[in-house]
């Protein structure tokens, strides 16, 4: 399973499609735009669309929840989950709980969604070079906190791609080396990796 399209064209057309949207489905369109861009492994760009979502009651809960995890805007997603709870909107409890806990850990460590995206974009760059994308609906999130005696608390994010273990390890190595060269060590509350799905 590989990406075949033209990434620049995808970015361009999503941008164009977001001009002059009717207000009644704007938020749904923003969530879908975010997903399209995140599926091309552009995280910062994807979050720009996701962050514009205002009224969660106008977006299918499945879409806004998965889109938020997909673009790794976990802190923004936590706000939307709180709004959804106020509206009585039913969500996947496991996913919503995990995303909320991840957001809490990042917030208490002063790690913004933008910072997560900055590091994720390096991994995304490597995945795009190899035309690979997440095998699941979104990157996988695991939590290290008091519940499993992990200190300092950490959000582990894995990009699971359909390839063999050796290729995945090489992509992981390339991403980590490039990320260190560009930005140094990741914040302690954040860990990114690539694995074979």
Partner 1 sequence: MPVTPQDLLDSAKRFDASKTNCEADYRACVSRVYYAAYHSAQEFHKNLSQPGISIAGCGMHKSFVNQLQYPGITKTDPDYNKSIEAGHYLKKMLFNRTTCDYDNTYTIAINSVTLAFADAELVFDAVK
What is the DSSP pairing of strand 140-144 with strand 190-196?
A: unpaired
Contacts of 88 (CB under 8 A, 6+ apart): none
If one asks whether residue 109 binds partner 1 (CB under 8 A), the answer comes out as no
Taking the least distance from each CB to partner 1, the nearer of 138 and 153 is 153
Q: Segment 38-97, which members bind partner 1 (CB under 8 A)?
A: none
Phi, psi of 193 (to 5 degrees): -150, 165
Taking the least distance from each CB to partner 1, the nearer of 137 and 142 is 142
Measured at the CA of 133, the angle between CA 90 and CA 162, to 5 degrees, comes to: 100
What angle, rounded to 10 degrees, do the helices at 74-87 and 61-70 form?
160
What is the DSSP pairing of strand 190-196 with strand 154-161?
A: parallel
If one asks whether residue 165 binds partner 1 (CB under 8 A), the answer comes out as yes
If one asks whether residue 173 binds partner 1 (CB under 8 A), the answer comes out as yes
Span near partner 1 by CB under 8 A; candidates 17-25, 32-40, 79-87, 145-153: 145-153
- Please state the length of the chain: 197
Find the shortest distance in angstroms from Cβ 130 to partner 1.
16
Question: How would you class 145 by CB atoms within 10 Å of its CB: exposed for 0-12, middle for 13-18, buried for 19 or more?
Answer: middle
Strand, coil or helix: 122: helix
Find the shortest distance in angstroms from Cβ 152 to partner 1.
7
Structure tokens at 145: 């906190």
Single residue of 71, 148, 162, 163 touching partner 1 by CB under 8 A:
148
Taking the least distance from each CB to partner 1, the nearer of 54 and 173 is 173
If one asks whether residue 150 binds partner 1 (CB under 8 A), the answer comes out as yes
Q: Segment 123-142, which members bind partner 1 (CB under 8 A)?
A: 142
Find the shortest distance in angstroms from Cβ 188 to partner 1.
7
Q: Position of tokens 């990114």? A: 192
Across 79-166, where does the E strand assignment appear? Answer: 140-144, 154-161
If one asks whether residue 191 binds partner 1 (CB under 8 A), the answer comes out as yes
Summarize as ranges the residues that interact with partner 1 (CB under 8 A): 142, 144, 148-152, 154, 156, 165-166, 168-169, 172-173, 176-177, 180-181, 184-186, 188, 191, 193, 195-196
């Amino acid at each position: 399973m590989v990406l075949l399209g033209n990434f620049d064209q995808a970015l361009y057309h999503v941008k164009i499609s977001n001009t002059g949207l009717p207000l009644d489905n704007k938020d749904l369109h923003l969530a879908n735009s975010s997903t399209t861009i995140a599926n091309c492994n552009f995280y910062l760009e994807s979050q720009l669309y996701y962050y514009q979502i205002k009224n969660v009651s106008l977006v299918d809960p499945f879409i806004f929840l998965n889109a938020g995890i997909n673009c790794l805007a976990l802190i923004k997603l936590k706000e939307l989950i709180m709004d959804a709870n106020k509206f009585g909107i039913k969500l996947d409890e496991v996913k919503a709980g995990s995303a909320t806990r991840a957001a809490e850990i990042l917030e208490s460590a002063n790690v913004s969604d933008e910072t997560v995206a900055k590091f994720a974009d390096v991994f995304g760059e490597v995945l795009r070079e190899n035309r690979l994308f997440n095998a699941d609906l979104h990157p996988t999130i695991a939590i290290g906190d008091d519940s499993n005696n992990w200190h300092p608390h950490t959000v582990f994010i894995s990009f699971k791609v359909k390839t063999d273990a050796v290729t995945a390890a090489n992509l992981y190595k390339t991403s980590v080396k490039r990320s260190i060269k560009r930005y140094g060590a990741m914040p302690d509350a954040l860990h990114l990796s690539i694995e074979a799905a």
